[in-house]
Each structure stands twice: as C-alpha cells, then as structure tokens.
Amino acid sequence: MPVLTDAHKSVIGRELGPRPTPYPVNVAMARFWCEMVEDENPIYFDEAYARSTWLHGTFAPPPMLVAWRLYPVWPEVKRESPLDWLELPDCPATIAVNAVQEYFMPVRYGDTLTFTSQVVGLSEEKTTWLGTGHFVSIMDTFHNQHGQAIGTHTFNLFVYKPAPREEGK
C-alpha cells in the first residue's frame, strides 16, 4: 500500500457544498427519532412547556444532524462524497471510529438546512487489528436558512484493507 502522495494530501481541507438537506426540519422525523430510543423529553413537542423555558420553543433533538442530511434511497441518485476523493483503492472497508458533534443553537421545525463536507484529517498508513489503512476525518457543517451555523458533525473513520483471517479463529 502506498504512503500518502501529495495528491492525497491535497484533499485535506477541500470542501464539498453547500448542499441542501432533502427535507425541512420536521416533527414527524423527530418523533420517529424519539420513539426509537424512548426519549420522552417534552421540550421537543410540547410548545407551551418549551416556550416557558430559556430555549423559547420546541426544537428537534440536537443529535439529529446527520439524519437531516441523509438522502432518500429512492429514486437512486449517485452523489459525490469526500470519500470519493481519497483514492485508496486498496482499502475497500470502512469502519466508524468515533463521531463528534457540536451544537450551536436549537434547530427549529420548518428550518431548511444546508451542509458542507470537508476532509479535515488523513493519517499516514497505520496497521490495527482490523487491517492496514488510513484514519480519515470528515467534518460536516450545517447552516439554517438565516445563514447561522447550527452545528458540526465530525466522523472519524478507518478506511482499510482487512487483515487476512487466520484459520480456526
């Protein structure tokens, strides 16, 4: 597997977007999200309660950032991803290491969001118990229709060639 070339390194800092998210921030998707983990927090749906707090009204669960930007699976459309720029053909597997999100303000129902995606980190070749490859960090930054930054999502991934499995293990 090659060490990083200048072409690989030139990808760091490159930005894709801004692109619109497919649906406005909406109550139905927020409810599905809360049902999933049995989240009973009334601040997401009870307008009278939410208005009585310092947060001045209902809003969608902050960790929904990525859910807002996932595209419909139908009709199928090939969309560009910063991962396409990496050109690591020897590394067919990807695993999530960790995800860091920051939330700057509440995301209100009816908001229409846009996001940019940027490669913010690419490691030299590393070998872990999974195999040999590169740690890649991709940061999405989300804005609302007023141009306010509402949050970021940084996904740290290991893109690798799986180590051969030993027989009997």
Partner 1 sequence: MTNWKAGDALRRIELPLTLRRAVQAVAGTRDYYPVHHDEEAASASGARTIFFNTMFLQAFAGRAANEWFGNDAFLRRLDVAMRAPNYIGQTLAAEGTVVEVRESDGVKLVDVDCTMSTKDGPTTGVKFTVELAPDNRGQVST
Return residues touching partner 1 (CB under 8 A).
Answer: 29, 32-39, 41-43, 49, 53-56, 61-64, 66-67, 70, 73, 95-103, 105-106, 155, 162
Give min distance, CB of 83 to partner 1, in A. 14
Minimum distance from residue 123 beta carbon to partner 1 (Å): 16
Of 68 and 88, which CB lies nearer to partner 1 in the complex structure? 68
**Closer of 27 and 100 to partner 1 (Cβ):** 100
Question: CB of 161: closest distance to partner 1 in angstroms?
Answer: 14
Amino acid present at 50 = A
The string of DSSP letters for 48-105 reads HHHHTSTT-S----GGGHHHHHPPPSSS------GGGGS--TT--EEEEEEEEEEE-S
Smaller CB separation from partner 1, 134 or 153? 153
DSSP per residue, 15-41: EEEEEE-SS---HHHHHHHHHHHT---
